[in-house]
Amino acid sequence: MQTMFPVIAILTLMTACATTHAQPATSFTPGKVWPDDKGVHINAHGGGVLYHEGTYYWFGEHKIAGRTGNSAQVGVGVYSSTDLYNWKNEGIALKVVDEQGHDIQRGCILERPKVIYNKTTGKFVMWFHLELKGQGYASARTGVAVADNVTGPYTFIESMRPHAGVWPVNAGDAAKPSKDIDGTWAADRERSIALGSYLRRDFEGGQMSRDMTLFVDDDGKAYHITSSEENRTLHISLLSDDYLSFTDHYVRIFPGGANEAPAICKHNGKYYMITSGLTGWAPNPARSAVADNILGPWKSTGNPARGVNPANGLGPEKTFGGQSTFLLPVHGKPGAFIAMFDVWTPQNPIDGRYIWLPAEFEDGNIIVRYREQWDLSVFDRVNAGD
C-alpha cells in the first residue's frame, strides 16, 4: 500500500495534465497565453472579430518572434470559433507579397485589420492600417482587400490616403485660409492643429490614416474610423455601398484630442467608443465617448477602466497594461459586448497577450472592469435587462 499511493498519485496527475491540455476552455483568462486548437498561442494582434453564419472569425496581425515581427512578415491571420473561448487556426487570410515596391510588400507595416461582410455583394471586405515598406510610420495609409470566402484568400485592392481634395462636413473655418490655422503655427501650435492645420496641409494629397476600425450600422452603412492629422484628430468616414471605397462624407471628431486605437459599438441606439492616447506600444489611460449619431457630436465620458490587473499591478492609469482594439458584440445576447485590448510586447511581438473583458454600461457610460477569469454568463448579470 505504502508504495502504491505515490504511483497512483503520479498516474492521476499525468492523466489530469493530459486532459487539461485537450480540454476545451470554458472561460477567458485575460493576459494569459491563449492556446489555439494546436496548443499554440493565438497570433492575431490588433484584431477584429466578425460573426458570420454561426461562427466568429478573429482577424489580426500575424507576428513573428523578435523585433522584425513589428513589421509584416506574413500577413493577416484568421481564427474561427463558435463559443469565443476556443479558436481554430484558419491560416493566413491576407498574405504579404514579395514583389518589390508592392504596397503590401513583406516588411511593410500592416496593422489593425478589420473585416466586414457586405450583404448586397456577398463579399468580405478587409481594411487595415498600412505603412509602406522602409518608410517607418510616415506613409499613414489605409488599405483594402476583398474575398469571396470569410477566411480568404483576400485579394489586395489598393491603399490610399483618403479624401484627397475633400473637406469634412464639419470642417468649419478649417476650409478657409486663416491666420489662426496657417499663420499662428509657431505661436500656438496645438490650437492650430485643433483648428485643422494638418487637415489643410493634407487636403490635396489625402488625409493621413493610422490606427483604424470599421463599424457597420443597423442600416447596413459602414464607417471607417481612423486616427488622422498626425494622430491628433479622429476621422469618421462613410464607406461606399460596396464597402470598397470612401464616399466624400466624413467628419472630424475630437479635434486635437490625440486619440488612437479606436473601437466602436452600438447599444440601445447609442454609439460608444473606446480609444487610447498616443504612447506607441506603451500603455496609457484609455478614454471613452458616447454619441447619438455615429457622425457625432461625440461626448467624452472619461476613462472607462476600473480595477487592477494583479499580474502587472496596472489599473486605469495604464489600461491594465493594454490598448483598445475592438468592441465585439456577443451574438444572441443583447447588450453583451467584449472589450478587446492588446498587451504589446514589441521586443518579441509574437508573445503579445490579449485582455478580453466584458463591457458594462453604467449611467450612460461604457466601462470595463478587470476580471482575472470570467465567462459569458457574466452577461446574465451585467447589462441584463438593458
Where do contacts with ligand GAL occur on this chain (CB under 6 A)? 46, 111-112, 211, 260-261, 280-281, 323
CB nearer ligand GAL, residue 141 or residue 371: 141
CB nearer ligand GAL, residue 61 or residue 360: 61
Element (H, E) at 195: helix 189-195
How would you class 353 by CB atoms within 10 Å of its CB: exposed for 0-12, middle for 13-18, buried for 19 or more? buried
CB nearer ligand GAL, residue 85 or residue 281: 281
Minimum Å gap between C-beta 321 and ligand GAL is 14
Minimum Å gap between C-beta 3 and ligand GAL is 58
CB nearer ligand GAL, residue 198 or residue 344: 344
Q: Which three cell numbers stand for residue 230?
A: 498626425
CB nearer ligand GAL, residue 46 or residue 256: 46
CB nearer ligand GAL, residue 140 or residue 244: 140
The residue at minimum Cβ distance from ligand GAL is 280
Minimum Å gap between C-beta 111 and ligand GAL is 5
- Cell 457625432 identifies what position? 296
Minimum Å gap between C-beta 260 and ligand GAL is 5
Minimum Å gap between C-beta 191 and ligand GAL is 24
- 8 A C-beta contact, residue 127 and residue 222: no
- 8 A C-beta contact, residue 227 and residue 259: yes
- 8 A C-beta contact, residue 350 and residue 45: no
Cα–Cα distances (Å) from 58 to 34, 44, 156, 188, 376, in that order, read 13, 7, 19, 43, 17
Order of strands across the sheet that contains 155-160: 109-118, 123-131, 141-147, 155-160
- Report the relative pairing of strands 260-267 and 246-253 from DSSP bridges: unpaired
Minimum Å gap between C-beta 340 and ligand GAL is 13
